[in-house]
Structure 1
Amino acid sequence: MQYILSNSHVTGKVQVQLPSSKSISNRLLLLNALSYSPYDIKNLSDSDDTKAMLGVLNSNSTTFDVGAAGTSMRFLTAFLSKIVGEWVLTGSERMKQRPIKTLVDALNQLGGKIEYIEKEGYPPLRIFGSNLEGGDIELPGNVSSQYISALLMIAPTIENGLRLTLSGEIISRPYLEMTLSLMKDFGVESHWKGNVITIPEGHYQPKVVTAESDWSAASYWYEIAALNPDLEINLKGLKKISLQGDSNIKKMFELLGVKTKFSQKGTTLTNTGTRTSKFKYDFINEPDLAQTLAVTCCLLEIPFHFTGLQTLKIKETDRIVALMNELKKMGYVLKSNQRDDLSWDGEKCEISSKDEIVIDTYKDHRMAMAFAPAAYKFPQLVINDPMVITKSYPNYWEDVAMAGINSTSAE
């Protein structure tokens, strides 16, 4: 399936109800289950990832397929390892290529019994749930924060709790702080000093909770505001003081000419017309924003150098390679050490004005959403597999149509 995108020059005010944060929603679902809560979560995400998580938690089966939902795979691996029974946890073909050995080794060290059904170190998994014994454990700080959050959330429910040492550089710290903050809402205290997080054995307390709207989804509206100076965009549901590290998007886009104003009416974005001549940023804490910023900087002709991108290679796709491939189709030649950086120094290559530009999305929702606003500069832009957006923002295409980005199916 393809969408052909066109743009109609929309001016004035646009109001958008953002989707709920799937990062918060999936954590709340697990904490709700661990607290045996009778309450429903308010403003729960309707993303594919959250539906996958909810489906498993409400299922009477012993075999679960979470599709492409990485958060669900990691969180449920930890959760099921402490639920007595034999479970099979699998996912999409891409999920079977995403490593999980670090988490499995840690759980087995705590007394779990998890086996690989196919390839060593990767899903699908056979999990023999049992009572786990806590104590001291060490993990590299530069692994996916989802591994660490999975362990943190089950920590109070296992014997003796957990004392987790994170060695080396700690990446995606805001996601760990989010996890610990939500755990505190459910009555569990933690202590984080230096590289050691200590969580005593205890009990979660049920609570009525509401999920925040998604700052990651807001990033695409910041991109639209940067590219269309005649729009004023009002976003509903965001919190100024947020658990989400991606709320830092407002600081990044200040440098790209977008001003943020908070009020009781929502979060308003306006284009100031003033922007930096070069953009440098370390995305170690906000890796999911890199695609939005890369596309925006290129379209604004602003050279950039991004660092802290090491986790991008194990996301829904290798996002560094994907960005280099797709931006080159628009004439932008990016460079990378293929480990943790990405840059554009202004180098461009010739593209034919007669050929339509077809953007591949690699089964990655953020590729589709980050590239769609390029329709402002490249009319008749084609997006392959456009409905990957349901992973986190199911109403994306309907919403961006309000900003003049119109989509027509090419089926």
Structure 2
Amino acid sequence: MITEKEPGTGLAARVPGSKSLTNRLLLLAAAADGTSTLRAPLVSEDTVAFREALGVSGIPVKSGPDDAFWQVTGTGRGPAGPARPWCADAGTAARFLPPFAATGHGTFLFDGSSQLRARPQRPLIEALRALGADLEPGPGNGLPLLIRAHGIEGGELSVDSSLSSQYLSGLLMAAPLMRRGLQVRTGSSLVSRPYVDMTVALMRRFGARVEESADGTLSVRPGAYDATDVVVEPDASSASYIFAAAAVTGRTVTVPGLGTDSLQGDLRFVEVLGQAGAEVQVGPTATTVSGTGPLRGGFTVDMGEISDTFMTLAAIAPLADAPITIRGVAHARLKESDRVAAMAENLRACGIETSEGKDWITVRPGVPRPTRIACHRDHRIAMSFSVLGLAVPDTISLDDPACVAKTFPDFHDELRRLFTGDATS
């Protein structure tokens, strides 16, 4: 059951800032004319990698006490090379920073971990080439990626966004720095549309002029961004694990700062929990989820637009009273791991009957047996199965518990505090 009102009292969760917002805001602040302040940014492996990649590109980010805020001073134009930005495991860095670099001048050599090198970059490479960028990609059109920047003219472009919306977001954010701006057609294949909406909303907050026509074409006019101070919302994807844990343990948990005005589409995960029987209250400034008993299954849900949360649902689906089918997640096979296959593999290892197709997974009810989960260096696998472990104690262990540092460094401590320890501390 879902109600839209200010949530009641629940244990207050400490969810870190949104990775999606933090890295977009870092890029926009770097492209703006003046100093921007990002308050309550996410401090994690991915965002630190993004921040350091900006630093080696001549745009240092100054930290306030305890990283309570970051200050970014941009010049209103693209960066100047030479630079060798290291993206580590951060897909957003590898997809947002090259278009920005191409609007500047000099050489930029982008590289990252073996995991990031394996992730697809082809649509971004093709788009930048179509815009006149001089670049040399690595094997399979991936990293390492060399860009010889001399500015970008801009103009009209079609982008294949069937694999990831990050390519489109990266191009859009760089568009005001292109000499003619950008008119980009996405067609009907765009995945994770809420992330593009988030990108456009943030661009407008920094003063960009962005319009969308009836046929879906996005037009961005040339011009400088304005420096802006922004408070980063808690991460809705990370909050999904806290909300799911409340649903399966029968507790009531509130995430402050995440409500009806959120820019993050992944908050819609609570709608799925409501469909599964949890009580959900969404207010202007907070969201509360309460567990009401065994989960209800027997439904199919398309999670294509909130695919970072599909694993959260898949991991707790064995606890439902009937099968649950998740659809629309083919692009999740191209993330840090093949997430559809990894979830099916681990659920079967738990003794749970699971079937999968190209863009779907069905999980049937069952009692998990003791299992060591193969995390595949993927933070979302580790966090999802940790929630299942709360509901079925002493059954789930992780082969790489530390991989959660990618987006939620204090995840395990917070889960213990809320659900197994002293939640008042």
Q: Is the Cα–Cα contact under 8 Å of residues 261 and 284 in structure 2 kept in the other structure?
A: no
**Superposition deviation, residue 382 in structure 1:** 1.3
State the alpha-carbon separation in 2 of the partners of residues 266 and 156 from structure 1.
34
Unaligned runs of 5+ in 2: 1-8, 59-81
Decide which of 277, 300, 315 is 1:257's aligned counterpart: 277
1:12-411 pair list within 5 angstroms: 14-59=11-56, 60=58, 62-116=83-137, 118-193=138-213, 194-229=215-250, 231-262=251-282, 266-273=286-293, 275-337=295-357, 339-346=358-365, 356-375=370-389, 376-404=391-419
**Superposition deviation, residue 263 in structure 1:** 5.5
State the alpha-carbon separation in 1 of the partners of residues 269 and 248 from structure 2.
15
Flag the 1:227–1:207 CA change in 2: closer, same or farther, 3 A. same
- Alignment-mate amino acid for residue 74 of structure 1: R
**Superposition deviation, residue 241 in structure 1:** 1.9
**Superposition deviation, residue 264 in structure 1:** 8.0
Deviations 1:52-71 (A, max 9, x none): 11111122571122111001
- Alignment-mate amino acid for residue 28 of structure 1: L
- Alignment-mate amino acid for residue 202 of structure 1: G
RMSD: 2.0
- Alignment-mate amino acid for residue 309 of structure 1: V
Between 196-205 and 313-322, the greater mean CA deviation after superposition: 196-205
State the alpha-carbon separation in 1 of the partners of residues 364 and 401 from structure 2.
29
TM-score when normalising by structure 1? 0.89
Q: Is the Cα–Cα contact under 8 Å of residues 222 and 258 in structure 1 kept in the other structure?
A: no
Q: Is the Cα–Cα contact under 8 Å of residues 225 and 270 in structure 1 kept in the other structure?
A: yes
- Alignment-mate amino acid for residue 317 of structure 1: S
Q: Is the Cα–Cα contact under 8 Å of residues 18 and 237 in structure 1 kept in the other structure?
A: no
Q: Which residue of 1 aligns with 2:74?
A: none
- Alignment-mate amino acid for residue 149 of structure 2: G
Deviations 1:259-300 (A, max 9, x none): 222458843221233753313111121110110010111233
**Superposition deviation, residue 43 in structure 1:** 1.1
State the alpha-carbon separation in 1 of the partners of residues 172 and 196 from structure 2.
9
State the alpha-carbon separation in 1 of the partners of residues 248 and 270 from structure 2.
15
State the alpha-carbon separation in 2 of the partners of residues 391 and 51 from structure 1.
10
Q: Is the Cα–Cα contact under 8 Å of residues 317 and 364 in structure 2 kept in the other structure?
A: no
What secondary structure, in the 3-state scheme, does the structure 1 residue paired with 2:351 have? coil
State the alpha-carbon separation in 1 of the partners of residues 101 and 155 from structure 2.
19
What secondary structure, in the 3-state scheme, does the structure 1 residue paired with 2:139 have? coil
State the alpha-carbon separation in 2 of the partners of residues 152 and 107 from structure 1.
12
State the alpha-carbon separation in 2 of the partners of residues 169 and 344 from structure 1.
27
What secondary structure, in the 3-state scheme, does the structure 2 residue paired with 1:88 have? strand
What secondary structure, in the 3-state scheme, does the structure 1 residue paired with 2:147 have? strand
Q: Is the Cα–Cα contact under 8 Å of residues 259 and 283 in structure 2 kept in the other structure?
A: no
What secondary structure, in the 3-state scheme, does the structure 1 residue paired with 2:259 have? coil
Flag the 1:389–1:405 CA change in 2: closer, same or farther, 3 A. farther
Aligned length: 387
What secondary structure, in the 3-state scheme, does the structure 1 residue paired with 2:308 have? helix
State the alpha-carbon separation in 2 of the partners of residues 80 and 138 from structure 1.
20
**Superposition deviation, residue 304 in structure 1:** 1.2
State the alpha-carbon separation in 2 of the partners of residues 98 and 165 from structure 1.
23
- Alignment-mate amino acid for residue 94 of structure 2: M
What secondary structure, in the 3-state scheme, does the structure 2 residue paired with 1:17 have? coil
Q: Is the Cα–Cα contact under 8 Å of residues 114 and 126 in structure 1 kept in the other structure?
A: yes
- Alignment-mate amino acid for residue 16 of structure 2: P
What secondary structure, in the 3-state scheme, does the structure 2 residue paired with 1:191 have? strand
Flag the 1:108–1:324 CA change in 2: closer, same or farther, 3 A. same
State the alpha-carbon separation in 2 of the partners of residues 318 and 225 from structure 1.
27
State the alpha-carbon separation in 2 of the partners of residues 373 and 274 from structure 1.
15
Deviations 1:94-127 (A, max 9, x none): 11111101101111111111102x4131111111
State the alpha-carbon separation in 2 of the partners of residues 162 and 155 from structure 1.
6
Unaligned runs of 5+ in 1: 1-11, 407-411
State the alpha-carbon separation in 2 of the partners of residues 365 and 165 from structure 1.
33
- Highest relative contact order (Cα 8 Å, sep 6+), 1 or 2? 1
